[in-house]
Structure 1
Amino acid sequence: MSLSPGQLRAGRALIGWSQDQLAEASKVAKATIANFEAGKRQPYPRTLDDLRDALEAAGVIFIDENGEGPGVRLKKVQQDNQTA
């Protein structure tokens, strides 16, 4: 699945990350992130994988094109119902 600039922006917004925070988590330069989100350049596939992996590790789920367009959402938080 490809990653669009809009999905990257939305994924960051869902978890409240700045471009700096994503750059640190993904080991991708902030300028690369900013240029991709602005539509100025298309990063290498490996770079997109690094960005996606960082956001997924933080709880973002990427939704494939399904007739309504691609999207993002957060993972459902699992709560432990056992008592101590």
Structure 2
Amino acid sequence: MPDVISMEQCRAARALLDWTQEELANAANLSLSTVRDFEKGRRTPISNNMLMLKQVFEDEGLVFTYHEEEIPLGVEFHYTRLRI
């Protein structure tokens, strides 16, 4: 699987979790402007930041799907993370 997600996948993943951009930025330890600019298509995060975004979502039980294993396609839940 690729280490990148698209801005559309990011927005969809955030919606599935009912997270604000600020909540995502905090969870990924990134600036709010990084998340905002990415989701607006202004810039692509550096590779470490992209990995953090993807990892945070995957830790919450989301799985990113790709067409032919390289073109971002979608996002879906695979399990619900137990919160204590």
- For the criterion TM > 0.5, the same-fold answer is yes
Larger radius of gyration: 1
Alignment partner of 2:58 out of 50, 56, 77? 56
CA distance in 1, matches of 2:47, 2:5: 9
Alignment of 1:14-29 (within 5 A): 14-29=16-31
TM-score normalised over the length of structure 1: 0.83
Structure 1 stretch displaced more, 61-70 or 33-42:
61-70
Runs of 4+, deviation exceeding 2 Å: 66-69
Same amino acid, percent of matched pairs: 31
Q: Which amino acid aligns with 2:73?
A: P
Aligned-residue Cα RMSD (Å) equals: 2.1
In the other structure, the counterpart of 1:73 is 76
CA distance in 1, matches of 2:23, 2:72: 27
**Distance change >3 Å, CA 56–CA 69, structure 1 → 2:** closer
Instruction: Write out per-residue CA displacement over residues 7-47 of structure 1, whole angstroms, 9 at most, x where no aligned residue.
Output: 00000000111111111110011100000000001110111
Deviation at 1:65, TM superposition (A): 1.7
Deviation at 1:69, TM superposition (A): 5.7
What is the aligned length? Answer: 78
Structure 2 gaps of 5+ residues are: none
TM-score normalised over the length of structure 2: 0.83
SS of equivalent to 1:70:
strand
